[in-house]
Amino acid sequence: MARYSPLVGNGHMVAVRFSSLGDVVLTTGVLLRRHREFGTTFTFVTKKAFAPVLEGHPAVSDVVALEDAELHGQAQAMAFRSVIERWADSPLLDLHRTLRSALLAKSWKDAIICYKKMSLERRLFLWSRGRFCREKLLRYNVPQRYAIGLWPERDVPAREDLRPKIFLSQEEMLWAQEQLAPLRARYGRLAVLHPFATHPLKTWPMQTWLELAQGLRQQGIGCFWVGMGEDMPEAEKEFSWVNKTGIRQLCALIGAADAAVTADSAPMHIAAAVDTPVAALFGPTTEEWGFFPTGKSDIVLQKSLPCRPCSLHGSGKCPHAHACLAGIGAEDAAQAVQRLLAGKGEAEPRSM
Find the mean pLDDT for residues 75-89: 95
Helices 330-341 and 206-218, axial angle in degrees (round to 10)? 40
Helix/strand/coil for 84: helix
Between CA 258 and CA 304 the distance in angstroms is: 28
Helices 170-187 and 247-256, axial angle in degrees (round to 10)? 50
Q: Is the pLDDT of residue 146 over 80?
A: yes
Domain boundaries, the chain: 12-161, 170-351
| Secondary structure percentages of the chain, helix, strand, coil, to 5 | 45, 15, 40
pLDDT band at 285 (very low <50, low <70, confident <90, very high): very high
pTM of this structure: 0.94
pLDDT, one tens digit per residue, over 175-219 is 999 999 999 999 999 999 999 998 888 999 999 999 999 999 999
- Is it true that 12-161 and 170-351 share their CATH fold? yes
DSSP calls for 178-205: HHHHHHHHHHSEEEEEE---SSGGGS--
CATH class label, 12-161:
alpha beta
Q: Is the pLDDT of residue 113 over 90?
A: no
pLDDT band at 50 (very low <50, low <70, confident <90, very high): very high
Domain 170-351 annotated CATH 3.40.50.2000 = yes
Find the mean pLDDT for residues 51-68: 98
pLDDT band at 91 (very low <50, low <70, confident <90, very high): very high
